[in-house]
Structure 1
Amino acid sequence: MAQADSIPKKNRLSIQIDPLSLIDFYNGSNYKLGTEIKLFRNIYLSADFGGYFRNFNVLKNNKGFNADFRIKYQFPHSNSSISLGYFYKKQSFEYHDYYIDKPEEPIVVYTRKTVNCINLNFEQKFPFLKNQKAYVSLFAGLGIRFRNVHSTFEMKHDFDRLKDGGDSQTLYFVLIPGKDPWLNLNAGIRLGFYLF
């Protein structure tokens, strides 16, 4: 019995990445590396940390970091789980464009944002490889996002005058200043590998 107790249990610690964050055109492409640890029985703790690529898409000189923490309950004898997560992001960037009525004068919109978010997610893992050492995890959920954005835009009228980005609904939410709570919908994929 003593020997059996001394053998480490399988799948207690994993490393994971979020491949979709590399092509996040809405918030700015970023890289994330994280870990998940089994605390006891069916309770897990996860943490992911990341930074932004400076000039990968329309957001230039993109700087900042993000952190994502989750406490998760995995249903017994299942690869399904439910988690409560907290996400934090601090980011600054520039957006370059022209006004329709002044195409000869380039403009730069400077933006700084801080986001705090609380989510309730459902997650499904799909283990693979020998001894199921790797997994793909799909997740989706709802929450609330507290957004604090400072921008050189003063009002929506400025955004409507943009030559390239004026008709983009997603860019509008990225650039327009404000301090307000929003409903948050999220979904994603994580790729993980168990170390032990």
Structure 2
Amino acid sequence: MKKIALFIFLLFTFCTYAQKQNNTYNSDSKLNVFIAPLPLIDVFDGSSIRLGVDFKVNRKFRAAIESGTYFSTIDAYKINPRGFIIKPEIKFKVYENDHSKQFIGIEYQYKEQSYDFKDSISVVEGVNYEMQYKINRKMNCISLKCISLQNLSEKITFEYFFGIGIRFLRSKNNLSDEENDGILDDEIHGGTQAEYQIRPIGKINTVNLIAGIRFGYKIF
């Protein structure tokens, strides 16, 4: 709990510090389209393309929705990931000047994903074998974000953010109970911390930390 409290404190400290950011273009716009580039090279969750729109609601509020799909160009941990993700958000302006705007945002995320995974399994003592099996996951997450919207030119925007939330994960695989109990996930059999996050099944509720960037284009 102390770590969570510290993270929330840093979240609001960042928003205060961000008031000092400077660019040379007015950041106001009624409608932007954007791309989130970091998921394209995400070797942990799987490579995905994320596009979205950001629009002005009124003087204090903006809203956005981001969606994407997975493709298997990078499968360092998850094999052949497939699925989709959608992330609507609403953000409240806490500061602005002629160069930039800072927001506090609430984001909801829903994700469905399936992928293959390989493990060493021992059902009979002393007999080990490698097996590739399928995992299916559904995730709901709600997060509090601190956001800074800057400008790179008259038309190009740059947004960066980080936040904290709660993640509700439901996961299952196609292994039998005996095969699940027989998974060999220790260091001797190549178990890694990343794999410990990818493999678990059942109902898993955890704290979720987020961070990212977006490049946008002003439509008007």
Normalising by structure 2, what TM-score? 0.75
Local SS of the residue matching 1:22: helix
Residue 137 of structure 2 aligns to which amino acid in structure 1?
K
The farther-off stretch of 154-163 and 62-71 is 154-163
Q: Aligned residue for 1:5?
A: none
Match of 1:49 among 67, 70, 75: 67
- 1:195 equivalent to 2:219? Answer yes
* Larger strand proportion of the pair: 1
Give the CA deviation at 1:157: 5.9
Q: 1:60 aligns with which of 48, 54, 79?
A: 79
2:50 to 23, 32, 35: 32
Aligned residues: 183
Identify which range, 172-181 or 70-79, moves more after superposition: 70-79
Q: Which runs of 5+ in 2 are unaligned?
A: 1-27
Q: Deviations over 1:17-76 (max 9, x none)?
A: 111111112211111100001011121110001000135213223211000010011224
- Structure 1 residue ranges without an equivalent (≥5): 1-9
Which whole-Å CA distance do the structure 1 matches of 2:210 and 2:112 have between them?
A: 18
Q: Structure 1 vs Structure 2: percent identity of aligned residues?
A: 30
The one-letter amino acid paired with 1:187 is: A
> Residue 22 of structure 1 contacts residue 29 of structure 1 at CA under 8 Å; is this kept in 2?
yes
String of CA shifts for 1:145-182, please: whole Å, max 9, x gaps: 0011112465576151587741x112211111120210
Correspondence for 1:186: 210
Which residue number corresponds to residue 124 of structure 1?
Answer: 148
Q: Which amino acid aligns with 1:96?
A: K
CA RMSD of aligned residues (A): 2.3
SS in 1 for 2:72: coil
Conserved in 2, the CA contact under 8 Å of 1:98 and 1:164? yes
Deviation at 1:95, TM superposition (A): 1.4
Aligned-partner Cα distance in 1 for 2:93–2:189? 46
User: Contact (CA 8 Å) 2:120, 2:185: kept in 1 or not?
Assistant: no
Hey, what's the Cα distance between the residues in 2 that align with 1:96 and 1:160? 11
Residues 54 and 163 from structure 1, CA distance in 2 versus in 1: closer, same or farther, beyond 3 angstroms? Answer: farther
The correspondence for 1:158, drawn from 183, 201, 212, is: 183
1:71-116 Cα offsets, whole Å, 9 max, x none, are 011224241111001000000010135459767x431031000000
**More helix by percentage:** 2
Does the Cα contact within 8 Å between 1:159 and 1:172 map onto a contact in 2? no
- Which residue type is aligned with residue 66 of structure 1? I
Is residue 139–residue 187 contact of structure 1 (8 Å, CA) maintained in 2?
Answer: yes
One of 43, 56, 75 as aligned partner of 2:94: 75
Amino acid at match of 1:147: L
Q: Using a 3 Å threshold, how does the CA distance of structure 1 residues 121 and 163 change in structure 2: closer, same or farther?
A: same
In structure 2, C-alpha distance between the alignment counterparts of 1:185 and 1:113, rounded to whole Å? 19
Letter in 2 for 1:34: G
1:74–1:53: structure 2 CA closer, same or farther, 3 Å change rule?
same
Which residue of structure 2 aligns with residue 21 of structure 1? 39
